[in-house]
Chains A and B, each alone.
Chain A
């Protein structure tokens, strides 16, 4: 019955080549001594040095990390609390609210971006007629990121709540725990994996976002993807290659570490069985 796996393997290898050829090109040309994007002249580390001397890139990086951390934190708190609220609701309002919650997930990013931009511009203009000196910037960026992050937290916490055994919560109440204490001691530990994965998704979504940030920020707050966008617009800037190489190596290292930890975890579980 077992037909050969060869065609499947060949397909996987071809796709791997397709997926990694451009990344390899980026990495190789990050060491190119010539500015050219297509001719390799010789080896240099100049672009890395230039990258680390580029204050704009470094400040964009720190802004991106702060933004991702704050928005993920806020979204995780609001998202977890709201997921518990949704879970306690009757079916019809819950369905309606989950539909609304899904809007930023299914809507094209560009529409989320421009619609938020309209609100922010109107609000800022209105506040400025009252004499305040507001403009689009970190504040609006943070609101936008929290807005598109919360749905992902809710979508990863709700399934965990559905798996809960309701009796344990009621048992805690019967044993005299206050509802808050029962939530903290009984429910929170059970849904924690969902909360953590929601927070991780939110953090990475925020780091990776370009489109929504592009429409909802001002010149005062530029994220790393926006810096990259400005650099790609200039057509030739080998610093981008250096930056991509560093990001690729970081992500690769992180994924390998996670993978090792997971395999170790699995093995430990198997041994226990």
Chain B
């Protein structure tokens, strides 16, 4: 009894330690998001309306392109990233350390620079086409097309797919794999029935980490996509800082994008069925 009281006395002040941050979150996380909601139902003249949302219908192409390109890049990252993570997990010692270092190093270079670098490769008279014509192959027109945006996204986000998958595969208990082998499973069966299901949480978190920044990017589409493959990120940026200043419409676009992203994440997490969150680093 006395002990319980003592503990209560000692833990209650502990709880209060979070108070300043709760105020901070209210001011700089909750209120800003509420403002986005508020603005999206308001006209520049002030007053409640659905105008911003009916205007959104005219921007369907932006939504379609953003979600399609982000989904495409996510699939490409998964198709390359999963086998890569698997191959890396089978390396040992110095080889694995080197592979990890090589994978992480580009992530530390600013994304603007990484994307900029692709311009000189993909340009019409760029390095890729110089190489192709040197090999007497037909040249490609990639820059300022959605394909260039997809290349940029895969390049920027591939490590975000590989790392969570690698983390999960490395944590798989070796004895589980050996048991499956002892029970007569061949390599394919062991992979399909043991490794793949156990690595699913990593796959899900990889998909999230590629899809969410991909769908909302404006750097990659602006740098590599030209005027014809504008995405939602650019549209939002134009409403807040660009020529067509209209934060009301911009808020509505942001709100719809956020809701669609949240719904897709929720649907995906149902597949994960309460798996523990996978953390990178």
Contact = CB atoms under 8 A, between A and B. Distances in A.
Partners in one complex: yes
Interface of A: 1, 3, 5, 7-9, 11-12, 15-16, 18-23, 25-26, 29, 37-38, 78-79, 81-82, 84-89, 97, 100-101, 103-104, 106-112, 114-119, 122, 143-144, 146-147, 150, 155-156, 173, 179, 197, 201, 204, 208, 210-211, 214-215, 224-225, 228-229, 232, 240, 243-244, 247-248, 251-252, 255-256, 259, 263
B165 to A, nearest CB: 13
B117 A23 contact: yes
Contacts of B250: 114
Given A26-B116, A110-B216, A244-B116, 15 more contacts: A5-B87, A8-B90, A21-B121, A23-B114, A81-B17, A100-B30, A112-B32, A118-B35, A119-B27, A143-B28, A211-B218, A225-B110, A244-B113, A248-B109, A251-B108
Contacts of A179: 10, 13-14
Interface residues of B, number: 86
A93 to B, nearest CB: 8
Interface in B85-128: 86-88, 90-91, 97, 99, 101-106, 108-121, 123, 125-127
Contacts of A15: 80, 84, 158
Contact of B25 (A5, A84, A101, A243): A101
Given A109-B216, A225-B112, A85 B17 contact: yes
6 contacts: A20-B102, A38-B130, A85-B14, A100-B29, A106-B212, A214-B241
Given A85-B19, A155-B279, A208 B110 contact: yes
A85 B11 CA distance: 9
Interface in B1-49: 10-11, 13-22, 24-25, 27-33, 35-36, 39
User: For the complex, would chain A's binding face be called helix, strand, loop or mixed by DSSP majority?
Assistant: helix
A104 B18 CA distance: 18
Contact of A114 (B13, B97, B215, B251): B251
A115 B32 CA distance: 5
Interface string B58-83: 00000000000000000000001001
Contacts of B265: 106
B196 to A, nearest CB: 16
Contacts of B228: none
B216 A108 contact: yes
B29 A29 contact: no
Given A100-B30, A114-B254, A232-B116, A150 B24 contact: yes
A11 B247 CA distance: 46
A109 B90 CA distance: 35
A177 B102 CA distance: 48
Interface in B191-218: 208, 212-213, 215-216, 218
B121 A25 contact: yes
A82 B110 CA distance: 30
A85 B106 contact: no
A108 B233 CA distance: 10
Contacts of A122: 35
B238 to A, nearest CB: 12
B104 A255 contact: yes
Contacts of B101: 255-256, 259
